[in-house]
Structure 1
Amino acid sequence: MVAAPIKSTHPLADIIERLESGGALLPESPQNLVEVVGVLKSYGVVLGAYSKNLNFIAEKQFLVLFPFFKYFDGEITTQKLFKHWWHDRINYEFSEYCMKAMMWHGGGGLDAYLDSAEFIELAKKAIAAKTKKNLFIQGVSKVFPDFLLEQVRLSCYYSGIGQFWTVMSEMFLELSDRYDRGEIKTIQDVVNHVKAGLVNNASLPITLSVEIEGQTYDLMPKSAGLTFLMDTAVPYVEAVFFKSFPFMGTVSYNAQARQIPLEQERFSYGALYADPLPIGGGGIPPTLLMQDMTHYLPEYLHEIYRHSVRGETDLRVQICYSFQKSMFCVTTAAILGLAPHPIETQDPKEQEINRRYLEGWMDKLLESRLLTFQSCDV
């Protein structure tokens, strides 16, 4: 008979034991299930739009330094212009906010590749082809030799997160379809679905080529070995779920005020930490995402929001609560998928290694919104 592992002394020991027994960071409850699946349905639609636009910018707006029409996906019409000016559109600015967070924090193979000699050589070929008829930009490039190179790196991040979100969008929409068919019945089913999607797409190549005057230039060739899971998904979770940026207007960026940690590693402004109450206020980037999701909520979830205490007057805040719950499910899938050994292992040594691994994750989540959602009444 295999001895049960010694009880963890970690402050989040109960959650660790739940994970070890096959559970999730988010407790099981019918309410949690409806919120998570419903909000991921809406998020899947929005992510699809975000990813299409990011890929368009990377491929079709390459080294366009003043891309006035980058949010139009190549379809510029009078109707779309008026919708854009009236702000009756998808808020693509939020996708760029996430992309820049991922680029700034770095990490993973994509970040390392973009500093490699191989990338710099490929980028310079593409830059030379794009600027050969533009003497002014050539002059700027000579004075500031890294300027255009950094713009190419930016294009690669546009593409990297665009390809990552394409997969996640399809995954979330499939989850909703399975829920509608009665195949998704628990939070654990949600986690298993996302985990399977991450694992199945783990080795999907992340590549980027641009066409300049009829000739194709590789920037992230398949030979670079960049893949979906380790080079986009994992750095994205770290940068956007955990670190992100302080929201302007809520804290001072003045160094003397000491309201922002001096060390980048101590940033905790990501999706798992953000206070939902400011959502809806000017200058808070997630407001844009929550506004986009209001348009695609499934009726069963929208009905729950309508019958809440404040009804639809705080719709974005309610969506943010549900969204954070869903992101804890996605985080669970990532944690289990990256575990050093299968979470159900019966080998004591492997159990101990997994335990230390889980405790490391819980250290990161101690100050997150995790404890808020441990009551099924929230």
Structure 2
Amino acid sequence: MTNTVLKSQKHPLSEYINCLKSGQALLKDTPENVLEVVGILKSYGIVLDAYSKNLIYIAEHQFLEMFPFFKYFNGEISLSKLLKFWWHDRINYEYAEYCMKGMLWHGGGGLDKYLDSAEFKQLAKAAIDAKITGNLILMPLNQLFPEFLPDMVRQQAYYSALGQFWRVMSDIFMTLSDKYDQGKMKSIPEVVNHILSGLVEAANLPITFAVNIKGKRYEIIPESVGLTFLADTAVPYVEAVFFRGAPFLGTVSYNAKAQQIDPEQSQFTYGALYADPLPIGGAGIPPTLLMQDMRHFLPDYLLEVYQKTNRGTDNLRVKICETFQKSMFCVTTAAILGLAPHPLDTENLQEQAENQVYLEGWMDRFLTSRLQVVNN
């Protein structure tokens, strides 16, 4: 126990370990931070609602479509909507797909394992056979490249799973905003506890996926597989999107000789907790799409805060990103508390030691994040 305590004192981020143990969060508890975090999560909740609906629509209604030109229309196609899309007066669903592909690529959790199982291959084959029967393009394509369509089914399983995850998170963030408006949310620890309670309540919600093909239902992820919200979507999402991410084109060289990208995916630090807000203020960076979406739904009280700062709303996307990172450290705090091996206020010495090792593991990953920046 003594060695563990000494080690924690030497850790560069030991102050945050002490904060977590004392019931605080990774983000400082100030009225300004509460206002910013709740305000941005309200906007984010609205955007996630749209993302969730579209991802689930694509998974269920654009299943194995080779050219899904209207996948972002959710089945409602009209000239006025088409003109809005061409004018980019719309939700940027591309960012939702970016996150989905990040989860697919980094893997992790039961969903990743299941999609490599014999059961999945059998269920996917049944759905593929039903879809391609009589299709003069897909039938020969499947014969020439037998792994192509199963891989598409894997991707559409992630469309559905991420859509289901975001459905829950949207509801959590919107109820958080409602409580704040009612004067029931006044501190950062209260914000964290609200998110944690939502995660715990939804922890065992089943993650399933099925499609209707020619009037018949085909299960891709049956409930019997046992995939659940927390272990199989929430945790892999945090790993893939909060931490690892993917290097942004134009900001680093993809040339292997330049050695600007770590060859180990597990060492990637391109996620939301590390991103520099300045590039996100411009075009070509995937999170810019999210910031652009959120700017349309900012509550008035948050917009007023931005208007009173230097440059006002001229660099609004940068300001939104900075606030969004604050909120994501609150969500990460909830995840840390929810996954801890023991209650952080335990008086059992062995449990304290195990918690210490657990927390230092997290702090090691925060060393190069923007944790200290958002708290200054």
CA distance in 1, matches of 2:32, 2:280: 22
CA distance in 2, matches of 1:6, 1:154: 45
Which residue does the alignment assign to 2:93?
92
SS in 2 for 1:278: helix
- 1:124 maps to 2:122: no
Residue 175 of structure 1 aligns with which residue? 176
Aligned counterparts of 1:352 and 1:35: Cα–Cα separation in 2: 35
Specify the alignment match of 1:203 in structure 2: 204
Aligned-pair CA distance for 1:281: 1.5
Q: Residue 355 of structure 2 aligns to which amino acid in structure 1?
A: N
Counterpart in 1 of 2:76?
75
Aligned to 1:210, the other structure's residue is in SS state strand
Structure 1 CA distance for aligned equivalents of residues 97 and 137 of structure 2: 27
Displacement of 1:104: 0.3
Ranges in structure 2 where 5+ consecutive residues have no aligned partner: none
Amino acid at match of 1:138: M
SS in 2 for 1:312: coil
RMSD: 1.0
Once the 2 structures are TM-superposed, how far is the Cα of residue 276 of structure 1 from its aligned partner?
0.3
Per the alignment, residue 186 of structure 1 pairs with 187
3-state SS of 1:295 partner: helix
- Identical positions, percent: 63
Distance 1:344 1:210 in 2: 46
1:235-275 CA-partner distances (Å, limit 9, x unpaired): 00000000011000111101111111111111100000000
- Aligned pairs for 1:1-378 within 5 A: 6=5, 8=8, 9-375=10-376
**Distance in 1 between residues matched to 2:210 and 2:374, nearest whole Å:** 43
SS at match of 1:109: helix
* Letter of the structure 1 residue corresponding to residue 12 of structure 2: P
Q: How many aligned residue pairs are there?
A: 372
What do residues 333-372 of structure 1 show as CA deviations (whole Å, max 9, x unaligned)? Answer: 0000000001121111111101100000011111000011
Deviating above 4 A after TM superposition, structure 1's stretches of 4 or more consecutive aligned residues are none
Structure 2 contact 245–268 (Cα < 8 Å) conserved: yes
| Counterpart code for 2:164 | Q
d(CA) in 1 for partners of 2:266, 2:171: 32
| 1:204-260 alpha-carbon deviations (Å, 9 max, x no partner) | 000001000110000000001000000000000000000011000111101111111
Q: Which consecutive unaligned segments of at least 5 residues does structure 1 have?
A: none
Quote how far apart the aligned CAs of 1:290 are. 0.3
Residues of 1 paired with 2:230 and 2:67: CA distance?
Answer: 32
- The letter of the residue matching 2:362 is W
Aligned-partner Cα distance in 2 for 1:24–1:55: 33
User: In the aligned structure 1, how far is the partner of 2:292 from the partner of 2:202?
Assistant: 29
Mapped to 1, the partners of 2:200 and 2:177 lie a distance apart of 19
Contact 2:243 / 2:270 at 8 angstroms: preserved in 1? Answer: yes
Q: What are the superposed Cα offsets for residues 262-314 of structure 1, whole Å, 9 maximum, x if unpaired?
A: 11111100000000011121210010000000100000000000110110000
TM-score, normalised via structure 2 length: 0.98
2: CA distance, partners of 1:253 / 1:195: 38
Aligned equivalents of 1:273 and 1:194: distance in 2? 21
Letter in 2 for 1:262: P
CA distance in 1, matches of 2:156, 2:113: 15
- Alpha-carbon offset, residue 71 of structure 1: 0.1
Assess if the C-alpha contact under 8 Å between 2:322 and 2:374 holds in 1. Answer: no
Deviations 1:129-155 (A, max 9, x none): 000011321111111100000000000
